[in-house]
Amino acid sequence: MNKTAAEAIALANEVAQLVKAQVSADIQVIMAPPSLFISEVNKAVSGISNLAVSAQNCHEKSSGAYTGEISANMLATSGISYVILGHSERRQYFAESNAQLAAKVDSALAAGLTPIFCCGESLDLREGGEFLAYVAQQLTESLFHLSAEDFAKIVIAYEPIWAIGTGLTASSDQAQEMHAYLRGHLATKYGQNAADDCSILYGGSCNAKNAQELFACTDVDGGLIGGASLVAADFITIATSF
């Protein structure tokens, strides 16, 4: 929840120009503005093949008496391609459950959107040693009902909640451990090839200084960037860290 309309459009235009000038065409860049600004931001990325737009959330129902909510169908008609689901802040502040997120995933897929599904553990779970099983359960309960065809459309983002906005960052070894574990868990349901093809992003205080080390990990396929995306130059540094 950042930026006024004018600020958001200015940032989107700056990022778009930097992507055209500096980012390799085989690196997919996605901007996720507040829904109010999606249409204008979508104009800024028009014609740039490796730059897309995502919403930050959607409701699980396609329509109805849900004042203030936005459906996946509404988002799809705005011309975007992605929607972030299950972000740690949505889980924390709005009590989104794994079952609700399963319904949101279904709604997004039915509307033709690619879900960027977030998962992650708190500091208590990390310190208690229960973090691997906990995050695997998030995937099981929200994604494992999908057919292999639909699962192939999912992007996963691992968020160590204890490293978001705290200044703490998972070490590259910690990130690789979790990403490899999640890929192995996905393989038990969908097979190794499908698991290998799934993009698993790291999100947890990833910034211009640590992105290269994190992205060098075998099972880290990219980043879900928070505060560092609010400065175009920093964001592009991250995008060119592969």
pLDDT in tens, 185-221: 999 999 999 999 999 999 988 999 999 999 999 999 9
**What CATH number did the domain enclosing 234 receive?**
3.20.20.70
Tell me the whole-structure pTM to 2 decimals.
0.96
> 85 lies in which domain range?
5-239
Exactly one of 59, 60, 87, 179 is catalytic; name it.
87
Q: Taking Cα atoms as reference points, which of 28, 188, 46, 180 lies closest to residue 114?
A: 28
Both tokens of 102, joined, read 């399963």
Count of structural domains within the chain: 1
Q: Which helix (H) or strand (E) element contains residue 118? A: strand 114-119
3-59 confidence digits (pLDDT tens):
999 999 999 999 999 999 999 999 999 999 999 999 999 999 999 999 999 999 999
Question: Is 145 known to be catalytic?
Answer: no
Is 87 an active-site residue? yes
The first and second tokens of residue 214, run together, are 């994190």
Catalytic residue from among 60, 96, 121, 159: 159
